[in-house]
Amino acid sequence: MALINVVDHRCNKKLCFYLRTIKIFKLTMSNRILSDHFEKTLDKLKAYFEHSGIAKHGDIKGAAREGFVQLFLEDTMPSVLEYATGEIIDKNDTRSGQVDIILQSSTSPKIKLFGNINISFNDYVLGAIEVKSNLNKTHLINSLELFRKIKSLERDVLVNGYSGWDDKKNIIYFKKTPCFLVAFKGPKRDTLLKQLEEYRKLNRLEIEEFCPQVIVVINREYDFVRNDGWLQDPNNHPGKHFFSSQGKLVLVFLYQYIFQLIDAWNKGFRAGIMPTGDFFKPK
């Protein structure tokens, strides 16, 4: 695994906040079973994008979502995980708005509306995923606005667990619901970083208030992963908000991040109890 530093002179100093806060990895894990699987999964997703008509008709309702669920989530994640669409609510009846994919355990409570559309309790949501056929600037802003709403929802049940790197078994707590953004087609890496920074500055936000844990752009084979201690020791990259990978194994960090959330939940690594009574208090 070779480490490549991002060079400051690639951008204007005033606009390169994110460019100066990532580390980039080129993943090379040839001849490993899982590596081979995720390379082929990436190829399947690219082929689905072209053959399903999404590439020419990017507004086909639900096609991008369904392709990602079938070819990535259902083929790689435990069967105990559910992939509903719908809204997330907290104890104050604050609503998230429509979410493409809500991740939660099949044993967790929810309100089923019809088909695969649910109202999910934020206390039991493991993650929220937005899937875009073409991540233009408008779609990016809409996704960030949604993540901002989700991360503002109150939680009494905190997702937590042991990080994937820490031998001392320090526990990582998620006080805000984890979010993920997947794009079949998207901008160049530097362009996306600049757009994230523009949104942050315009809205005067901290990165934790709106930014997803993982962003994957399939056609350009790159990702951004929050340097939050869940997958790697954040002290390895001091001052860095992201680390990033490029190449055929671009789905690996997304897989690891979600898998560890599910594994921690299944092992009972969570704190707090959902205050059911609060949902029935008069407003």
With CA atoms as reference, report the closest residue to 256 among 273, 239, 231, 275: 231
With CA atoms as reference, report the closest residue to 64 among 135, 119, 160: 135
Using the structure block, give the residue that is written with the tokens 């907290």. Answer: 90
CA-CA distance, 163 to 264, in Å (whole number)? 9
Residue 278 lies in a domain: no
Percent of the chain with pLDDT over 90: 59
Residue 139 lies in a domain: yes
With CA atoms as reference, report the closest residue to 179 among 131, 213, 145, 227: 213
CB 91 within 8 A of CB 279: yes
Residue 282 lies in a domain: no
Mean pLDDT value of segment 111-117: 90
C-alpha distances (whole Å) from 73 to each of 20, 113, 219, 249, 253 are: 32, 22, 18, 16, 14
Tens-digit pLDDT profile for residues 200-235: 999 999 999 999 999 999 999 999 999 888 888 887
Tens-digit pLDDT profile for residues 251-283: 999 999 999 899 888 888 777 889 999 999 987
pTM of the predicted model, to two decimals?
Answer: 0.88
CA-CA distance, 252 to 64, in Å (whole number)? 19
Residue 121: CB atoms within 10 Å: 23
Residue 130 lies in a domain: yes
- What pLDDT does residue 63 have? 85
Residue 281 lies in a domain: no
- What pLDDT does residue 22 have? 57
Mean pLDDT value of segment 70-97: 94
Residue 42 lies in a domain: yes
Tens-digit pLDDT profile for residues 152-190: 999 999 887 766 666 656 677 888 999 999 999 999 999
Question: 67 lies in which domain range?
Answer: 2-273
Residue 19 predicted with pLDDT over 60: no
- Per the rule left: phi > 0, alpha: psi between -120 and 50, beta: everything else, 268 is left
- One DSSP character per residue, 65-96 reads HHHHIIIIIHHHS-TTEEEEEEEEE-TT--B-
> What is the three-class DSSP state of 254?
helix
The count of domains in the chain is 1
Residue 283 lies in a domain: no
With CA atoms as reference, report the closest residue to 38 among 261, 256, 260, 264: 256
Residue 68: CB atoms within 10 Å: 24
Tens-digit pLDDT profile for residues 44-57: 999 999 887 665 65
Residue 199 lies in a domain: yes
Residue 11 predicted with pLDDT over 60: no
